[in-house]
Amino acid sequence: MPSTALTHISTLVTNDPSLGPGPLGPIQDAAVVLEDGHIAWVGTTRRTPATDSHYDAAGRAVIPGFVDSHSHLVFAGDRAEEFTARMSGRPYTAGGIRTTVAATRRAGEEELAGRLAAHVAEMLRQGTTTVETKSGYGLTVEDEARAVRLAAAVTEEVTYLGAHVVPEEYRDDPGGYVDLVTGPMLAACAPHARWIDVFCERGAFDADQARAVLTAGLDRGLGARVHAGQLSAGPGVRLAVELGARSADHCTHLTDADVEALADSGGRTVATLLPGCEFATRSPYPDARRLLAAGVVVALATDCNPGSSYTSSLPFCIALAVREMGMTPDEALWAATAGGAAALGRRDIGRIAPGARADLAVLDAPSPAHLAYRPGVPLVAAVWHRGRRAV
Ligand code: NIG
Ligand code: FE
């Protein structure tokens, strides 16, 4: 692959503290060289080495491609009516998941694959170069296996979420469903997945059931992640930390003991905040300041799904996190890039430093603060993904 230099970058966010001040490690009037899908060099424009091709960023900012570490993109149908009813006062419940399960089971493979690809492309246009995505709208062995297989065709970050809710047909036998999830369904899904996840919440799975699900996945060599503290404080966060899950997601309702457990994990368990969900369910936002003050590593992700958060935009989530959750623009940008990478246990993405994957976005803005400062404005002007111009 020919080498490319991007030059005249007003601010290059590297997320490498050895390259510039603070966690974002910014370089001013910067340049970056991409070669064979990786970052080969970073520095100032006037020191740029010779390359095969050249892109003049003309005073715009460049950031690492966003790492969206939590989404649910294998689904059919939408729930606009449920959203509309919520905006007239009806509360969000996990029960809506079953609506999407019914639509997804009915859908053909081509339809699901087409919609999945369209959502991934929509994310890429908004600067997301890595996306984690989950099963969880199939809830039979065949439908879950189909979901993880389709997901694996678009990303290496696939999560098996058979334990999303107990499906209708197991209403009277939740234990039987957990046996299915930890037995034949896991066997069918594990070969296509990197992670296992469980929705630990009243109305979904309790602590014992969640522990059984996560332990079965860990025994199969999957990494653990947990939907925890979305609708109420519960056992999910502490279970995530205890089992060494890479991420506890939502973290909207937290006890002091939860915050302490996350902090004590020393960054091993990241708190992934999903403000699109609070936006679309009209709920109070998680308190990012409380987590950051305690020393917890925080990631931001979209949770893109047709029920609780139908946004694919990390810039939108950054704006919400800054306005509603007490984060600074720098903290929110870090959380949506390096934070997402940490939540996926990855060192090769979420930063622009020699050796990292060449994933980056050029912003139509002189500084990355514009992501929060100009909410709703499509600021992503160009994207390189694995060293190739993708947008
Ligand atoms: O992360 N909490 C569980 N799962 C999704 C919601 C899925 C849905 O409502 O369809 C979430 O918010
Ligand atoms: Fe989710």
Both 190 and 290 in one domain: the answer is: yes
Q: Give the pLDDT of residue 94.
A: 87
Both 355 and 283 in one domain: the answer is: no
Question: Which ligand 1 atom is the nearest neighbour of the CA of 97?
Answer: 10
Give the ligand whose atoms come closest to the C-alpha of residue 306. Answer: 1
Cα 100 to averaged position of ligand 1 atoms, centre (Å):
10
Domain stop point among 309, 327, 344: 344
Q: Which amino acid is at 148?
A: V
In sequence order, the 6+-apart residues with CB closer than 8 A to the CB of 132 are 68, 69, 70, 71, 155, 157, 158, 159, 195, 301, 344
The DSSP secondary structure of 116-152, one letter per residue, reads HHHHHHHHHHTTEEEE-EE--S--SHHHHHHHHHHHH
In eight-state DSSP terms, residue 157 is: -
Q: Kindly report the protein residue whose alpha carbon is nearest to atom 8 of ligand 1.
A: 307
Question: Could you give the 3-state DSSP secondary structure of residue 338?
Answer: helix
Calculate Rg over the CA atoms of the chain: 20
Domain stop point among 311, 327, 344: 344
The count of domains in the chain is 2
Question: Which ligand 1 atom is the nearest neighbour of the CA of 227?
Answer: 2
Both 265 and 372 in one domain: the answer is: no
- Exposed/middle/buried for residue 237 (C-beta within 10 Å: 0-12, 13-18, 19+): buried
What's the CATH number where 275 sits?
A: 3.20.20.140
Both 299 and 371 in one domain: the answer is: no
Both 305 and 367 in one domain: the answer is: no
Ligand 1 pocket list (CB less than 6 A): 72, 96-97, 100, 199, 227, 230, 277, 303, 305-309
Q: Give the pLDDT of residue 340.
A: 99
Both 144 and 208 in one domain: the answer is: yes
Cα 234 to averaged position of ligand 1 atoms, centre (Å):
16
Both 94 and 11 in one domain: the answer is: no
Q: Across-strand partners of 66? A: 128
Pocket test for ligand 1, best of 78, 252, 285, 308 (most atoms within 8 A of CB): 308
Q: Kindly report the protein residue whose alpha carbon is nearest to atom 3 of ligand 1.
A: 199
Cα 136 to averaged position of ligand 1 atoms, centre (Å):
9
Residue 168 has which token pair? 């209708």
* Residue 84 CB coordination number (10 Å): 10
List the strands of the sheet with 360-363, edge to edge: 38-44, 27-35, 4-12, 53-64, 360-363, 380-385, 388-389
Strand 38-44 versus strand 27-35 pairing type: antiparallel
Both 233 and 318 in one domain: the answer is: yes
Question: Which ligand 1 atom is the nearest neighbour of the CA of 100?
Answer: 10
In eight-state DSSP terms, residue 271 is: E
| Binding-site residues from annotation | 70, 72, 79, 137, 164, 227, 230, 303, 305, 307-308
Mean pLDDT of the chain: 98
- Exposed/middle/buried for residue 296 (C-beta within 10 Å: 0-12, 13-18, 19+): buried
Owning domain of residue 40: 4-65+350-389
Contact 232, 248 (CB under 8 A): no
Q: Give the pLDDT of residue 155.
A: 98
Cα 230 to averaged position of ligand 1 atoms, centre (Å):
9
Q: What is the residue whose two structure tokens read 């309702």?
A: 253
pLDDT, tens digit, 9 for 90 and up, residues 72-81 = 999 999 999 9
Domain stop point among 310, 326, 344: 344
Both 109 and 163 in one domain: the answer is: yes
Both 191 and 210 in one domain: the answer is: yes
Cα 97 to averaged position of ligand 2 atoms, centre (Å):
11
Both 289 and 167 in one domain: the answer is: yes
Mean pLDDT per 10-residue segment, the chain (391 residues): 96 98 98 98 98 98 99 98 97 93 98 98 98 98 98 99 98 98 99 98 97 99 98 97 98 98 98 98 97 98 98 98 98 99 98 98 98 98 98 98
pTM over 0.95: yes
Both 209 and 299 in one domain: the answer is: yes
What's the CATH number where 381 sits?
A: 2.30.40.10
